[in-house]
Amino acid sequence: MTRHTTVIAQGTFDLLHPGHVHYLREAAAMGEELCVIVARKSNVDHKDAPICAAEQRRDVVAALEMVDEAILGHEEDIFVPIENREPDVIVLGHDQHHDTAAIEAELARRGVDCEVVRASGREPKYDDELLSTRLIIDRVLERRG
């Protein structure tokens, strides 16, 4: 595995769960500094809107030991924080909807020279471990709804 200096991970991080922790640990291991971009509600159009406010999600992510900095994404242009930080690598979650080739093309168009890689997924470690915000919400509704 190539070791980089600046790594960016990004996501919604609503209702933080062990899958998020796995993703961020793997991203952090790829470099010296991990910056996490937390999506704003206005940029989450591929799934249900987040339950928690963007600032709350950012603050919870920032509290994780492996995260050096957590910032909110740009309201209109998701590439602005990437351009501002000039990372060596962007690590996408294993199940994120992003098209790696399209991201690479847009970065090249903007003159950002960095690698785009996918993190690995992981299986639950025990029978009722939930590695998805959707599954957590479903469980809450099932038990408390």
Provide the domain count of the chain.
1
Match 């206005």 to its residue by tokens.
42
Residue 23: domain span? 4-144
Amino acid 110: pLDDT: 95
- Annotated ligand binding at 12? The verdict is yes
- Annotated ligand binding at 74? The verdict is no
Walk along the chain (145 residues) and give the pLDDT tens digit of each residue.
555 699 999 999 999 999 999 999 999 999 999 999 999 877 777 777 888 999 999 999 999 999 999 999 999 899 999 999 999 999 999 988 888 999 999 999 999 999 999 999 999 999 999 999 999 999 999 999 8
CATH of the domain at 107: 3.40.50.620
- Annotated ligand binding at 19? The verdict is yes
d(CA 91, CA 89): 6
Amino acid 42: pLDDT: 74
- Annotated ligand binding at 133? The verdict is no
- Annotated ligand binding at 4? The verdict is no
CA angle, residues 96, 97, 103, in degrees to nearest 5: 95
Match 């950012």 to its residue by tokens.
58
Cβ neighbours around 122 below 10 Å, total: 15
